[in-house]
Structure 1
Amino acid sequence: MSDKNKIKITKEQREDMITSIKEYFSTEREEEIGDLASSKILDFIIDELAIEFYNQGVYDSYKYMTRSIDDLLSIQKY
């Protein structure tokens, strides 16, 4: 994915996500992983998977807006 299309997150969001990844591994897998490993996992998710979630959000928004426009047309007066 080019840098132009890469999902951007703030430093604070990144830190929160890294913490969440570490907590997941600790709770669900009973493994302790460090900041570097968590950061690499987050980079993989952002680089390889995030665009799919983004595109799904765009498509869901499109469907919602289309339904809303159809509803708006139903209140026309003749």
Structure 2
Amino acid sequence: MTIQIAKESRKEAIASIERYCRENFPEPVSGLEADGLLSFFLEEIGPLVYNKAVADVQERLQARVMEVDIEVHEEAFQYWPKQGRRR
């Protein structure tokens, strides 16, 4: 699965890469070079980040599913005990 980002987000990411390179390296990069770097990172490292996020969500959902029985549990055979309290 290829990770895609919205066009506007891509523009902002490219500008951020250009700025980072300008402020941290002796040679700045062009927009085209920054776009290439972004594509590389999305293809090479993006799946790692994506898979970690999915695993984190699965873990949280699993924890919530384990709590469902506590939140919605109802005791069976409560008719007679309730009747006894009413008398």
TM-score, length basis structure 2: 0.75
- Kindly provide the CA deviation profile for residues 15-60 of structure 1, in whole angstroms up to 9, marking residues without a partner as x: 1110111111122335421101101100100111101111111111
Aligned residues: 74
CA separation of 1:77/1:9 partners in 2, compared to 1, >3 Å: closer, same or farther?
same
Point out where structure 2 has 5 or more consecutive residues left out of the alignment. 76-87
* 2:22 matches 1:26: yes
Q: CA RMSD in A?
A: 1.4
* 2:73 matches 1:55: no
TM-score, length basis structure 1: 0.83
- Give the structure 1 partner of residue 6 of structure 2: 10
Q: Please, which of 31, 34, 54 is the counterpart of residue 38 of structure 1? A: 34
Point out where structure 1 has 5 or more consecutive residues left out of the alignment. none
* 2:74 matches 1:77: yes
Structure with the bigger RCO (C-alpha within 8 Å, sep 6+) is 1
Identity %: 24
- Give the structure 1 partner of residue 85 of structure 2: none
Of the two, which has the highest radius of gyration? 2
